[in-house]
Amino acid sequence: MKKLFALIFLLLSFLNYAQLNHGKIYMWNEVSGANPDTIHAISFEKYKLDSLPKELWHFSNLTYLNLEKNQLSHLPNELASLVQLTELNISKNKFTFLPLIICQLPNLQKLNASRNRIGSIPNQISNCQHLQVIDFYDNIIEDFGTGIFSLVELKTLNIEGVMYGTNFADDLKRKLPNVNILLDPPCKCLN
């Protein structure tokens, strides 16, 4: 029950942060014909996309991009053109690795990559020095790399949904002492 409340709180904080800090969140079908310079937040939630429309890259002032609940397994290099992006949601897709192009978003503060099949975190995530919240809920991450440990602004890391050993959990907490780490109760059986 405690985990459920923590997860609900995390999800609500994502929603409230997005609406308060990015203004109106437009669905993709609402921005057709709009001046791209006036749009700061776009959602493709539940569009069942396996690729992103090339017109998206015209919206260079985006600070929020929601790609939740699609069929995406990769992101194009053009994503790097969205240098003002502070929040990216790629949850509930088909990613088996965290796309390296995300590591080229210099102002990214919140990353939700929950409920994918991500198995490792690239060392290049250290390029996202403004990351404060990372949600990897329900991913089978076996390789955390080293880059995540140099994110000095990181406040919350969610890796719930997969059980880790007590040794790993203790080591992670030691390496990230100032980070609120959300993880399932560790098991000695996995040491």
- How confident is the model over 106-152, as pLDDT tens digits? 999 999 999 999 999 999 999 999 999 999 999 999 999 999 999 99
Statement: residue 4 has pLDDT above 80: no
pLDDT of residue 81: 98
Quick one: pLDDT band at residue 173, thresholds 50, 70, 90?
very high
pLDDT of residue 188: 77
What is the arithmetic mean of pLDDT over 154-160? 98
pTM: 0.88
Domain boundaries along the sequence of the chain:
2-190
pLDDT of residue 169: 93
105 or 2: which leads in pLDDT: 105
pLDDT of residue 191: 81
189 or 74: which leads in pLDDT: 74
Statement: residue 183 has pLDDT above 70: yes
* 134 phi and psi angles, rounded to 5 deg: -125, 125
> Residue 15 CB: number of other CB atoms within 10 A?
10
Structure tokens at 114: 């929950």
User: Which residues does residue 132 pair with via DSSP β-bridges, in sequence order?
Assistant: none
pLDDT of residue 14: 54
pLDDT of residue 8: 64
Statement: residue 40 has pLDDT above 80: yes
pLDDT of residue 107: 98
CATH no., domain 2-190: 3.80.10.10
Quick one: pLDDT band at residue 2, thresholds 50, 70, 90?
low
